[in-house]
């Protein structure tokens, strides 16, 4: 009986959302605070307009792992989030035990979101546009611009503004730069003449992260050289790696992130390519397997975990 009621309630919300969209010109939805609640919320300008966000939200839903990680590092634990992995990365395990899964970013469970009664929803443009009207009828919804993982820094600052945590955000960035400096100092000149490559395998493709990707920007901040093909920048920060261009990952050190069994099998196929044995990291036995969701995390918590790997493989392993 409760389930039927929730479905009817959800259908009514969808109808209201459709009417709201029809009444608006363009995509922008404006939400203005009434006088009696104006002191309890602050206006946030975002991709689809302006939304009055609660000053101290208690039931936050995030529609993306970057948004979820950003909220967590700022001291706000979402009640639910969309995920893109089955096995949680080590840096998120302790947090996910009390965060409900809403499915994937491409297909979040709107009925579950409604049942959770959130007081704030934080989304990312590419995965929220089609359902923004419905979401905004459930709770105040803000949507950050997202141009791929090169946007990870800007999106963190956006989430901090939404949550009213700009001072905490400054401390997060201070901690990030402090660790970067510690890594640079620890590395010294040991990588002076070496290039570090990174390749990730997921969802049927093999890709390389360039210098403006999430992991690529961390490597660049740490002063780590990349092979010429990975030192470039493109929109989105990643490019498809064809077997014919395998030497694009020809670094002295190679980090590999394979997401799941299918990716592991594809990696084994890649190793059968005659060019594989010509890669310097293969010849020097300096290939390191790293966690895919971590190196593609797009938030400061994941960045800290990436730096843990860099310390482990580039500093500590050389000292032992």
Which DSSP string do the residues of 234-261 spell out, in sequence order?
A: -TBSEEE--GGGGGGG--SEEEEEE-SH
Higher pLDDT, 218 or 25: 218
**To 5 degrees, how large is the angle CA 236–CA 132–CA 54?**
100
Tokens 């965060």 found at: 99
> Do the strands 205-209 and 238-240 form a parallel or antiparallel pair, or are they unpaired?
antiparallel
Euclidean distance between CA atoms 229 and 275, whole angstroms: 16
Q: How many CB atoms lie within 10 A of CB 30?
A: 11
Contact by Cβ (8 Å): 253, 315: no
Secondary element (H or E) of residue 49: strand 49-54
Euclidean distance between CA atoms 317 and 209, whole angstroms: 24
**Whole-model pTM?**
0.87
Domains of the chain: 25-164 (3.40.50.1980), 189-319 (3.40.50.1980)
Q: Per-residue confidence at 318, pLDDT binned at 50, 70, 90?
A: low
Mean pLDDT of 289-306: 96
Euclidean distance between CA atoms 249 and 281, whole angstroms: 9
Mean pLDDT of 200-221: 93
What is residue 21's predicted lDDT score, i.e. its pLDDT?
39
What is residue 110's predicted lDDT score, i.e. its pLDDT?
95
Q: Per-residue confidence at 319, pLDDT binned at 50, 70, 90?
A: low
- The model's pLDDT over 5-29, given as tens digits with 9 standing for 90+, comes to 445 454 544 444 444 433 333 344 4
Could you give the 3-state DSSP secondary structure of residue 53?
strand
Could you give the 3-state DSSP secondary structure of residue 316?
helix
Contact by Cβ (8 Å): 198, 216: yes
Q: Which two tokens stand for residue 132?
A: 């923004």
Contact by Cβ (8 Å): 299, 152: yes
**To 5 degrees, how large is the angle CA 139–CA 142–CA 143?**
135
Tokens 């307009």 found at: 49
- The model's pLDDT over 158-178, given as tens digits with 9 standing for 90+, comes to 999 999 999 999 999 999 999
What is residue 17's predicted lDDT score, i.e. its pLDDT?
43
């Amino acid at each position: 009986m409760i389930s039927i009621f929730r479905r009817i309630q959800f259908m009514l919300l969808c109808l209201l959302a459709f009417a709201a969209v029809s009444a608006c010109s363009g995509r922008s939805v404006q939400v203005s605070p009434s006088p009696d609640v104006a002191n309890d919320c602050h206006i946030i300008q975002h991709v689809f307009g302006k939304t009055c966000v609660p000053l101290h939200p208690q039931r936050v839903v995030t529609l993306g792992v970057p948004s979820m990680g950003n909220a967590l590092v700022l001291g706000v634990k979402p009640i639910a989030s969309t995920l893109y992995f089955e096995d949680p990365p080590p840096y998120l395990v302790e947090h996910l035990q009390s965060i409900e899964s809403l499915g994937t970013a491409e297909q979040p469970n709107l009925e579950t979101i409604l049942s959770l009664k959130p007081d704030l929803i934080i989304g990312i443009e590419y995965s929220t546009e089609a359902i923004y009207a419905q979401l905004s009828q459930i709770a105040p919804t803000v949507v950050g611009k997202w141009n791929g993982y090169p946007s990870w820094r800007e999106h963190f600052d956006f989430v901090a503004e939404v949550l009213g945590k700009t001072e905490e955000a400054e401390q997060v960035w201070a901690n990030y730069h402090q660790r970067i400096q510690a890594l640079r100092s620890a590395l010294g000149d040991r990588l002076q003449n070496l290039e570090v490559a990174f390749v990730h395998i997921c969802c049927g493709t093999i890709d390389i992260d360039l210098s403006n990707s999430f992991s690529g920007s961390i490597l660049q901040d740490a002063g780590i050289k990349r092979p010429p093909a990975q030192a470039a920048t493109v929109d989105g920060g990643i490019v498809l790696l064809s077997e014919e261009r395998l030497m694009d990952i020809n670094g002295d050190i190679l980090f590999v992130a394979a997401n799941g069994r299918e990716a592991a099998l594809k990696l084994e196929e890649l190793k059968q390519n005659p060019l594989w044995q010509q890669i310097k990291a293969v010849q020097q036995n300096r290939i390191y397997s790293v966690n895919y969701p971590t190196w593609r995390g797009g938030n400061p918590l994941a960045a800290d975990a990436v730096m843990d790997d860099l310390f482990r493989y580039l500093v500590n392993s050389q000292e032992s």
